[in-house]
Every structure is written in C-alpha cells, then in structure tokens.
Amino acid sequence: MTFPLLSDHSAEAIRRYDLLLPKGGEDGRDIGGTAEFLVDPSGTVRWRRLAESGPDTFLAAAKVLN
C-alpha cells in the first residue's frame, strides 16, 4: 500500500471521532464505522457523515463550503 493505515485496537480514535458501532462486527464485537469528513485548511472538521451516504451527498456539502 502507498498510504498509512491506522490500527486502533483500543478503539481510542474510533471513539474520539464518534464512529463506534457497538456489536457491529463478527461475534458481536465493537467496530469502527466508515465516515466521510470535510476538513478546512485550519484543520477544523466542517462536515461529517457516516458513510451510509453516497458521494453525491459529500460533493454537495463541499460545494456549500466554497
């Protein structure tokens, strides 16, 4: 792979970004959900959505921020 991956065994990052899916994994294990974020140049998260939405929703939110 040409990009870093996060291994989050303690679910610290998953909880910090409010992405925990309790009992959503195999055997009822807690897992992290997939999400989309728009982050402005200062590093502030301007928009966040669990990835149940499609790319059209993401692009529409990005256009509003321009």
Provide the domain count of the chain.
Answer: 1
CA distances from 45 to 35, 58, 62, 63, 64 (A): 12, 13, 12, 15, 14
39 falls within a domain: yes
pTM (two decimals): 0.52
13 falls within a domain: no
Other CB atoms within 10 Å distance of the CB of residue 28? 8
Q: What is the pLDDT of residue 53?
A: 53
Other CB atoms within 10 Å distance of the CB of residue 38? 15
54 falls within a domain: yes
43 falls within a domain: yes
Query: 45 lies in which domain range?
Result: 34-66
23 falls within a domain: no
20 falls within a domain: no
Q: What is the pLDDT of residue 20?
A: 86
Residues in a beta bridge with 50: 35
2 falls within a domain: no
CB 38 within 8 A of CB 45: yes
Mean pLDDT for each 10-residue chunk of the chain (66 residues)? 83 86 83 84 88 67 79
